[in-house]
Amino acid sequence: MNIVTEVNDWISMRKKMANQTIGFIPTMGNLHAGHMSLCERSKYENDVTIVSIFVNPTQFNNQHDLMHYPRTLENDIEQLTKAKVDYLFAPHAESMYQDHYEIQVMETELSKVLEGEHRPGHFNGMLTIVLKLLNLVRANKAYFGEKDYQQLLLVKKMVASLFLSTEIIACETIRNENGLALSSRNSRLDKEQLDTAEHFSALLRSHLNDENVIAELIKLGFKVDYIVQKWQRRLGAVVLGDVRLIDNVNYN
Ligand code: AMP
């Protein structure tokens, strides 16, 4: 696997990939089977698969969360190599934000609710970095998880609105055997919290109404940011200890 950490090196490398179809998976690292399922799909559908790892500081509204975000580059490289990913682009923050974040992408409707309401500025940071990455990679297809459903909708909206040429592919959420959505933040939960966290997706799927789901979650020790039905899904965000978890399930 080729590993590139400088934006200028990346631009030179990218020029050599003409005439090949390119699949791209943007991530923040600490890779797990959820990320790897996106890589597998890209490997299947494209000539070249490119993964980026960048813990994007501008999308963290909480400095504690940014500081404690798990960084496991060596292990990530091992998994990507094993999966035969072709390129890893892992740039430094300074090179991605040479403008000191003075240019930003802002969406004014969808980005204001749910995650946007609870994490002010999060989606501006996310859309800005995704636009930079899509422009640098110029992939045919980019793969995003339904796990971050609102993010997926916003990326699709940005791509349509700005006439970007990358197709956005939605990939289903990968879960552990007890239904817990795989997430890099799960690694910050202890054994007992992990057991408790498994109730989250089960309650989202249950036939209890939203108020009763919230009541059950609170009884289990969660702090609840929201449980909402929207886009034919039931979406939720909860906090356990100091770890914030989001999930959503098909729900009609
Ligand atoms: P992250 O590293 O958390 O920013 O995630 C990178 C990409 O992987 C995003 O498109 C996520 O939606 C996706 N992803 C994260 N967790 C999962 C999962 N459990 N199943 C499928 N996709 C996921």
Amino acid 10 reads: W
65-99 confidence digits (pLDDT tens): 999 999 999 999 999 999 999 999 999 999 999 99
3-25: average pLDDT: 96
What is the whole-number distance in angstroms between the Cα of residue 207 and the centre of ligand 1?
A: 26
- Strand order across the 233-240 sheet: 223-230, 233-240, 243-250
In the chain, where the domains are located: 2-171, 184-246
Domain at 184-246, CATH from 3.40.50.620, 3.30.1300.10, 3.30.70.270, 1.20.1260.10: 3.30.1300.10
133-179 confidence digits (pLDDT tens): 999 999 999 999 999 999 999 999 999 999 999 999 999 999 999 99
CATH class of the domain defined by 2-171: alpha beta
210-224 confidence digits (pLDDT tens): 999 999 999 999 999
29-49 confidence digits (pLDDT tens): 999 999 999 999 999 999 999
Question: Among residues 86, 95, 99, which one has the least CA distance to residue 14?
Answer: 86
pLDDT at 21 over 90: yes
| Mutation choice for ligand 1 from 28, 69, 85, 148, CB with most ligand atoms inside 8 A | 148
Decide if 2-171 and 184-246 have a common fold.
no
pLDDT at 239 over 90: yes
pLDDT at 55 over 90: yes
Ligand 1 neighbours by CB, cut-off 6 Å: 27-28, 34-35, 37-38, 144-145, 147-148, 171, 173-174, 181-184
Half-sphere exposure of 138 (CA within 13 A, CB side): 11
Residue 35 falls in the annotated catalytic set: yes
What is the whole-number distance in angstroms between the Cα of residue 32 and the centre of ligand 1?
A: 9
Instruction: Look at residue 252 in the predicted model and tell me its pLDDT.
Output: 82
Q: How far is CA 166 from the centre of its chain?
A: 17
Is residue 218 a contact partner of residue 235, using CB atoms and an 8 Å limit?
Answer: no
